[in-house]
Amino acid sequence: MEAVRNAEYTLTTRNGSGKFEMNITKIFGENCLSIDTLKERLPKSVWKTLKKTIRDNEPLEHDVADAVAVVMKEWASEKGATHYSHWFQPLTGATAEKHDSFITPNQGGGAITSFSGNDLLRGEPDASSFPSGGLRPTFEARGYTAWDPTSPAFIIENGNGSTLCIPTVFASWKGETLDFKTPLLRSTEALNKQALRALQLFGGEKVKWVNSTGGYEQEYFLIDQEYYYRRPDLMTSGRTLFGAKPPKGQELDDHYFGSIPDRILSYMLDAERELYRLGVPVKTRHNEVAPGQYEIAPVFEKANVAADHQQLTMIVLKKMARKYGLVCLLHEKPFAGLNGSGKHANWSIATSKGTNLLEPGESPHENMQFLFFFTATLKALYDHQGMLRASIASAGNDHRLGANEAPPAIISAYIGEHLEDIVKQIKNGGATSSKKGGLLGLGIPVLPNIPKHAGDRNRTSPFAFTGNKFEFRAVGSEQTVSFPTTVLNVGTAHAIDVMTTALETEFAKENDLEKALATVLKNTYAEIDAILFNGDGYSDEWQVEAEKRGLLNLKTTMDALPYMTTAKNIQLFEKYNVLSGLELESRQEIYLEQYFIKLNIEAETTEDIVRTMVIPATVRYLNEVLALNDRGKATGLDISSTKTLAEEVNNVLSQLIIAVDKLGKVNSDLGGDTIPEKAKHLSQVVLPEMNKVRVLADNLEKLVADDYWPLPSYREMLFVK
Ligand code: ADP
Ligand code: MG
């Protein structure tokens, strides 16, 4: 079967000319309205004003929007687009689109096409079914979307036509935000403001703005679609709710970085080609640790654009899989007993001059600056561990964090040996020497040397410094990167704010920036050094040690979500105008509701599969064994071992029938009227029953004849490529 599939699907990737075209420089961005195209097509004066909006975040003028709309429609029409859509990120974590045609009927009974500045700037989706966490009573259910000129518009193609997609924010008519893009943009502005303030103290080059950068690595699984359609659990909940451990899993490590199977590679090339055309700079691909698991990573961009591109990447990965007879699984834990999937959020701070503020520099001045921003990020992590953990809380991610898998639920930072040594020296009041060679001479008496490109690796840390950026590894593979990035941005903005004020005070006393900085850093580390941990994050000792240090260990969604609305976090978000307390409460409620709905679907699917597939299959098989038993008796053949087998099957089957009845009972009980009550019922009462049912069903999978078993096995799903 495998060989046939490979040949077949490699052929489908070839176009009419018999050749798969992949001229990257030619196709890159052809389906994305790039800055260059806008510049080329817009009148000079209009372009100048728009540029200020795009590059320097200045407000957009209405006549500019009109001119842009004309160019956009013209460009989109050339690409075959007949419709446009405001493309936004509702609080489900995915993206949403509502398509409108460019058509306007005219008086003569014909039609023209049109698209105005108003159409571009604002849309009114009747979006009453998106979650709003109680922010938007249904009588004013309509929300509005508004253009984000800092993220390029793009074309989504379909065999039968194309649609112009315009990245937008989404809010209620009262102005409450109902999406993930708005807070991300606002947190970027907060970071910009505070970082510019700090940079003034350091002098150096003049910069116009500061932005956070994001490079988001995506892990995913691919399985043959034939198996997918035969697994109701995958279809309803995105993960297998059953499945005995296969004789071969990931123990051999023979898949990781191995050569990529032919059909998979054809798929990857096609998906990458699509992403290039959309202007998404994907760069790296490889096999991941688990069989059937892969990774794709882009070149980093401004975080807002990178977050939109991350959503597009998920869309294209899923869509393209179908063309190759595959299904792309983005769930955090599709297969029990194998590694789950995450999304590594690489994060840094960059200036309008292109300087990476988390890159140790060549000069003493640059290194002081580096130490300042590096320490501010660590302070943000320490101060807002709970909020960061809450921003990535979900039913799916609970299978990774706190469940013996990468990374642990405890938020800590790995900074490598060199920097740890430097932090130690700072805490001891500054030093002139450094432990390792290969360092830059700083030549100042107070601050120690900084290593350049300390490339140490620690795979068990949720937040690792990797030489010139931090890598937040706890984001789930299916989740939006916008919210955790927002928390990093606003948390760091706050830390920079506090540390800049302290630095100003010290500087006024000492009139020596280096000494002032040394004092500020020393005081900061005295507060936050519990967050630094270079050891093994998976060990039991770390659980004990972290508790001693007073670090949070929020193992589940239910543990983490309360932190979204603690006084400290509301204060943080309100102070920097990112989200109001009410908006945070609504997000907390939506996260909880999503959690509850997902678990409920899983629990009901578990019950359904057992009753309608697992039990009937087992009964049929048992019937066959018993029939042999009877015939054995009739012929006088010794069939005592068959009887043992029947007893064994019957024993597990009886237990399963009792267990699924129990699951059915707790499934029909809601546990209360409110969302928190229902979520608690699901996590504390239903989930344990569901797990018991699974163990029994998985035992039966190992006893019942393969041709009777109704669900494709792990072996088939993971190893047929
Ligand atoms: P590794 O994680 O193995 O060190 P890379 O250096 O290739 O590998 O980086 C991995 C990801 O980090 C890539 O997606 C890359 O674009 C991103 N990245 C690199 N530098 C930055 C940065 N300054 N800001 C944000 N992301 C970055
Ligand atoms: Mg990485």
pLDDT in tens, 379-418: 999 999 999 999 999 999 999 987 766 788 999 999 988 8
With a 6 A CB cut-off, is 213 part of the ligand 1 pocket? Answer: yes
CA of 401 from ligand 1 middle (Å) equals 22
Angle between helices 581-609 and 640-668 (to 10 degrees): 150
Backbone angles phi, psi at 639, to 5 degrees: -115, 30
Q: Assess contact for 298 and 306: CB atoms under 8 A.
A: yes
Residues in a beta bridge with 465: 470
Q: In which region does residue 156 sit, left (phi positive, over 0), alpha (psi from -120 to 50) or beta (all else)?
A: beta
Domain shared by 327 and 377, yes or no: no
Mean per-residue pLDDT, 528-546: 93
- For residue 701, what pLDDT band results from cuts at 50, 70 and 90? very high
Cα–Cα dist 579/614, whole Å: 48
The answer to whether the Cα torsion of 612, 613, 619, 620 is positive or negative is positive
Cα–Cα dist 288/261, whole Å: 13
Cα–Cα dist 241/262, whole Å: 29
Indicate whether 13 belongs to any domain: no
Angle at CA of residue 522, ends 517 and 523, nearest 5°: 100
Q: Which domain does 111 fall in, by range?
A: 26-179
Residues 6+ apart with CB under 8 A from 505: none
Indicate whether 4 belongs to any domain: no
In the predicted model, is pLDDT for residue 271 greater than 70?
yes
- Any idea what DSSP says for residue 250? S
Domain shared by 270 and 356, yes or no: no
- Any idea what DSSP says for residue 708? T
Chosen domain end from 318, 341, 364: 341
CA of 682 from ligand 1 middle (Å) equals 38
Helix (H) or strand (E) holding 472, with range, is strand 470-476
Indicate whether 634 belongs to any domain: yes
CA of 303 from ligand 1 middle (Å) equals 12
37 CB burial (10 A radius; 0-12, 13-18, 19+): middle
Cα–Cα dist 664/32, whole Å: 50
With a 6 A CB cut-off, is 473 part of the ligand 1 pocket? Answer: no
**Per-residue pLDDT reduced to its tens digit, 49-87:** 998 888 777 778 888 999 999 999 999 999 999 999 999
Which residue carries 């009886």 as its tokens?
Answer: 654
Q: Which residue type, as a one-letter code, is found at position 11?
A: L
- Joined together, the tokens standing for residue 568 give 């400290």
Length of the chain: 721
Domain shared by 305 and 167, yes or no: no
Domain shared by 599 and 544, yes or no: no
With a 6 A CB cut-off, is 357 part of the ligand 1 pocket? Answer: no
Domain shared by 574 and 518, yes or no: yes
Mean per-residue pLDDT, 550-558: 95
Domain shared by 100 and 125, yes or no: yes
CA 14 to chain CA mean position, Å: 32
3-state secondary structure 495-522: HHHHHHHHHHHHHHHHCCHHHHHHHHHH
CA of 692 from ligand 2 middle (Å) equals 36
- For residue 124, what pLDDT band results from cuts at 50, 70 and 90? confident
**Per-residue pLDDT reduced to its tens digit, 557-613:** 999 999 999 999 999 999 999 999 999 999 999 999 999 999 999 999 999 999 999
Q: Write down the pLDDT at residue 471.
A: 96
Residue from 296, 300, 475 to probe ligand 1 pocket by mutation (most atoms less than 8 Å from CB): 300
Domain shared by 298 and 383, yes or no: no
Indicate whether 2 belongs to any domain: no
The answer to whether the Cα torsion of 393, 396, 400, 403 is positive or negative is positive
Domain shared by 271 and 140, yes or no: no
- Which of 98, 260, 78, 240 is closest to 165 using CA atoms? 98
With a 6 A CB cut-off, is 359 part of the ligand 1 pocket? Answer: no
Domain count, the chain: 4
CA of 469 from ligand 2 middle (Å) equals 10
- Joined together, the tokens standing for residue 466 give 């990797």
What CATH code is carried by the domain that includes residue 303? Answer: 3.30.590.10
Cα–Cα dist 66/467, whole Å: 45
Domain shared by 116 and 36, yes or no: yes
Indicate whether 372 belongs to any domain: yes
Domain shared by 97 and 73, yes or no: yes
With a 6 A CB cut-off, is 299 part of the ligand 1 pocket? Answer: yes
Atom of ligand 1 nearest to the CA of 358: 23
Domain shared by 259 and 355, yes or no: no
With a 6 A CB cut-off, is 215 part of the ligand 1 pocket? Answer: yes
CA 444 to chain CA mean position, Å: 42
Cα–Cα dist 268/260, whole Å: 10
With a 6 A CB cut-off, is 356 part of the ligand 1 pocket? Answer: yes
Mean per-residue pLDDT, 679-699: 97
Q: Assess contact for 693 and 611: CB atoms under 8 A.
A: no
Mean per-residue pLDDT, 296-324: 97
Atom of ligand 1 nearest to the CA of 214: 25
Mean per-residue pLDDT, 141-158: 88
Q: Write down the pLDDT at residue 637.
A: 84
- Joined together, the tokens standing for residue 416 give 């490598």
> Would the pTM of this model clear 0.85, i.e. be above it?
yes
3-state secondary structure 527-545: HHHHHECCCCCCCHHHHHH
Chosen domain end from 301, 320, 341: 341
What CATH code is carried by the domain that includes residue 163? Answer: 3.10.20.70
CA of 94 from ligand 1 middle (Å) equals 24
Q: Write down the pLDDT at residue 721.
A: 79
With a 6 A CB cut-off, is 544 part of the ligand 1 pocket? Answer: no
Q: Write down the pLDDT at residue 277.
A: 96
Indicate whether 171 belongs to any domain: yes
Q: Assess contact for 201 and 507: CB atoms under 8 A.
A: yes
Indicate whether 10 belongs to any domain: no
Indicate whether 8 belongs to any domain: no
Residue 486: strand, helix, or coil = helix
With a 6 A CB cut-off, is 469 part of the ligand 1 pocket? Answer: yes
What CATH code is carried by the domain that includes residue 633? Answer: 1.20.120.1560
Ligand whose nearest atom lies closest to the CA of 461? 2
**Per-residue pLDDT reduced to its tens digit, 197-242:** 999 999 878 999 999 999 999 999 999 999 999 999 999 999 999 9
With a 6 A CB cut-off, is 466 part of the ligand 1 pocket? Answer: yes
- Joined together, the tokens standing for residue 718 give 């993971």
Cα–Cα dist 572/553, whole Å: 21
Ligand whose nearest atom lies closest to the CA of 215? 1
Domain shared by 223 and 279, yes or no: yes
Chosen domain end from 551, 578, 605: 578
